[in-house]
Structure 1
């Protein structure tokens, strides 16, 4: 009986957390397009980042929810307001001033934005898993390395 009551209590609190997410998403959606950056973890603090952008990809508002339990709530991050989202995620020094969880969420949101703009968004993009090796900058450098290796093989320098 105790396990059943604990399950019901957890389900009720989970419902409240989803309602909290919907409320904050709706508020940001009224301000512009909303990017969602995810970094879900099972045994560590998971992080969810909501970023409202205007038509020029300038951040109008940003909110973060991080925590291990269902008691986590959204908090506003004002330091990003007014910044270009693209410049924020592509500026190494500024990006690495953020903690690892926020940085991973920003990169996840950036990856989703690029795939959306290119029309290559797939079902696996909604799984919440961020693959560092599929980020645009990494993909670009990987293609350059492959091209360079091909030239070395063609010249007979590399097998």
Structure 2
């Protein structure tokens, strides 16, 4: 009886998490589409594994000025995009660590904004290629493979 009850709770939690995750993706898509109608969109991200993650989107006009900025920051799937008016009117090319706009911002927001600038400039030059992050499971496998290779190399050098 207890196992059945725990199973029902686990399934209900999974369904709720899925629904809220889909709602968050829909929120991202709506904000992106709205910003895309205005022009180019620079997206900066600062993923969080155990800490808060941050996504910052800038609508950038032809002159490189930020027309609108939206940011999602949080740990849970309840996070939503909120306007960041302090970035409006700034030139994305002029953003740097010492920019006065960052004085009141947290480290995650700074990193996401600088990531957006970096990606925007790389796309503008035609040099940007999106890289897919390696999952933690694949990362462990990669480290084990490298360890095995180094051990084989050491033994092969020692026997020659």
Q: Deviations over 1:56-85 (max 9, x none)?
A: 110000011101101111110111111111
**Is 1:90 aligned to 2:93, yes or no?**
no
Runs of 5+ unmatched residues, structure 1: 129-159
**Is 1:100 aligned to 2:107, yes or no?**
yes
How many residues were matched structurally?
Answer: 126
* TM-score normalized by the length of structure 2: 0.73
Q: Give me the whole-angstrom Cα distance separating, in 1, the residues matched to 2:55 and 2:99.
A: 22
Shift of 1:91: 6.1
Determine if contact 1:95/1:103 at 8 Å carries over to the other structure. no
Determine if contact 2:96/2:114 at 8 Å carries over to the other structure. no
The residue matched to 2:38 in structure 1 has which SS? coil
Q: Give me the whole-angstrom Cα distance separating, in 1, the residues matched to 2:111 and 2:117.
A: 10
Q: Give me the whole-angstrom Cα distance separating, in 2, the residues matched to 1:120 and 1:12.
A: 37
- Go from structure 1 to structure 2 and tell me whether the alpha carbon gap of 1:27 and 1:18 turns closer, same or farther (over 3 Å shift): same
Q: Give me the whole-angstrom Cα distance separating, in 1, the residues matched to 2:38 and 2:99.
A: 28
Partner of 2:52: 45
Aligned pairs for 1:4-153 within 5 A: 4-87=11-94, 89-90=95-96, 92-94=98-100, 96-97=102-103, 98-124=105-131, 127=133
Runs of 5+ unmatched residues, structure 2: 1-7, 135-160
- Go from structure 1 to structure 2 and tell me whether the alpha carbon gap of 1:116 and 1:101 turns closer, same or farther (over 3 Å shift): same
Q: Give me the whole-angstrom Cα distance separating, in 2, the residues matched to 1:96 and 1:75.
A: 17
Bigger Cα Rg: 2
Q: Give me the whole-angstrom Cα distance separating, in 2, the residues matched to 1:61 and 1:120.
A: 25
Determine if contact 2:72/2:82 at 8 Å carries over to the other structure. yes
The residue matched to 1:30 in structure 2 has which SS? helix
* TM-score normalized by the length of structure 1: 0.73
